[in-house]
Amino acid sequence: MQNAAVAAIQPVESLIVPSELDGSHGTNRGVREHAQVAADNDLDAIRAWLANYANRTTFDNYRKEAERLLLWSVIELGKPLSSLTHEDLIRFQAFLQDPQPASRWVSSNGGKYPRNDERWRPFNGPLQPDSQRQAKIILNGMFNWLVHAGYLRGNPMALLKQRKKGSAKRITRYLSSSLWDEVKSFVEQLPRETDAQKAYYARCRWLTTLFYLQGMRISEVAGGQMKQFFRRQGPDGQDRWWLEIVGKGEKERIVPVSSELIVELRQYRTSNGLRALPSRSEETPLVIPFRGSTRCLHRSAVHDAIKGVFEGASKWIAAKGPEYTDRAEELEQASAHWLRHTAGSHMADGGVDIRIVRDNLGHASLNTTTLYLHTDDDERHSETVKRHRMSWDQSKSSGGVEDDETGT
């Protein structure tokens, strides 16, 4: 049942929850004398949990999931988060698949609005299975932390059946070499007559180059700064360029930077009025905003920029004729993460040592990296279609009916 006092959807930083719903008397509250956090209501408890995550991307993702659950609990159920039961969370799972009423929970036209905008909503649409699974993982971790902190007595999410996702035998969401060539051709044919067109072309070329050559995650590109480029002397006495990246779990890695990327870096920087090469103290974002602040772009902005390239390339390819429809539709599905998969696949299939690919992509295990190998599949395909044939024409010409009659 919806509670009228909190009918308006608001981000947690501006949300005011009435005392009867704030969790100060939640039915799943732990023994206060044993609590190891000062929080005495659900909002403060969530804030205490989020304070453990300094990485902005992680913080934003975790806040988003906790916020959705808290708002749903208070507004739709009319009960505190600290009173949720196993049965409530089963209902929440169904809600994630189709947040209703959409007018209350989903932003109009699936748009992304700032958190202080009155059009902001917790959802941009129903969550895909992977996003639903991720939400459950994050919330289960939150509940476990609140139990260990003594704020809650138990974790109601622990009772939900967790379906294990089968391991993929191969990475499939990547672009073949020929389709990747189509993307590059699309970027190269972009108009460059006006200043705005030149700026858009420069960004598209830089983004596709950076993602592909460095195999970076979208969060690594969005949060990256130019000072992460550095050079040091190699065994041949020549300077070698590297890119320092902070990846998942705040793990640092350095990725080799080719002379090809340095050429692109120079072009991109000079087109934005910067000197050709960055300094070790330069805080300019890896992807420079078109206007306004020089702060790093949000990952959603980088996502939209890459999607714009792929969608544009898809339409450009589709215009070539109906025989290109399948390729255009495949490209329309691509995202920034496809570029990371493409980089890993092309490196692995191109003969780069699998251990080097692992280190460049920042994988913890070599098993993950081997998923990028497709050469065995290609060889298997070639050998199968070459040697395992029906040969109808040959059977007909050699008198297949007579063979059948003799039992051979």
Q: How confident is the model at residue 402 (pLDDT cuts 50, 70, 90)?
A: very low
- Average pLDDT in the chain: 83
In a domain, 349, yes or no: no
Residues 6+ away with beta carbon under 8 Å from 15: 6, 43, 70, 71
Dihedral of the alpha carbons of 97, 101, 106, 108, in degrees to the nearest 10: 130
The alpha-helical segments, DSSP class H, found in 27-176 are 42-50, 56-71, 86-97, 102-105, 129-148
In a domain, 124, yes or no: yes
Instruction: Report the alpha-carbon distance of residue 137 to residue 58 in Å, rounded.
Output: 13
Instruction: Report the alpha-carbon distance of residue 15 to residue 71 in Å, rounded.
Output: 9
Instruction: Report the alpha-carbon distance of residue 170 to residue 214 in Å, rounded.
Output: 21
**20 and 63 fall within a common domain:** yes
171 pLDDT higher than 70: no
Query: What does the pLDDT look like over 53-78, one tens digit per residue?
Result: 887 878 888 999 999 999 999 999 99
In a domain, 151, yes or no: yes
Say if residue 101 is preceded by a cis peptide, omega within 30 of 0: yes
Spell out the SS3 assignment of 238-263.
CEEEEEEEECHHHCEEEEEECHHHHH
**154 and 187 fall within a common domain:** no
Pick from 277, 296, 325: which residue ends a domain? 325
Instruction: Report the alpha-carbon distance of residue 369 to residue 345 in Å, rounded.
Output: 9
Structure letter (DSSP) for residue 167: P
Tell me the CATH number at 24: 1.10.150.130
Domain count, the chain: 2
Burial class (CB in 10 A: 0-12, 13-18, 19+), 176: middle
Which residues are paired to 106 by β-bridges? 123
Tell me the CATH number at 315: 1.10.443.10
Residues 6+ away with beta carbon under 8 Å from 247: 217, 220, 253, 362
**223 and 292 fall within a common domain:** yes
Domain assignment of residue 269, given as a range: 182-325
Token pair 């983004």 in the structure block, residue? 207
Query: What does the pLDDT look like over 292-329, one tens digit per residue?
Result: 767 888 888 899 999 999 999 999 999 999 998 988 99
Pairing of strands 229-233, 252-257: unpaired
As a whole-number percent, the residues of the chain with pLDDT over 70 amount to 83
In a domain, 285, yes or no: yes
Q: Tokens standing for 321?
A: 């004729």
Q: How confident is the model at residue 369 (pLDDT cuts 50, 70, 90)?
A: low
Q: What is the CA radius of gyration of the chain?
A: 27
137 pLDDT higher than 70: yes
Instruction: Report the alpha-carbon distance of residue 265 to residue 272 in Å, rounded.
Output: 11
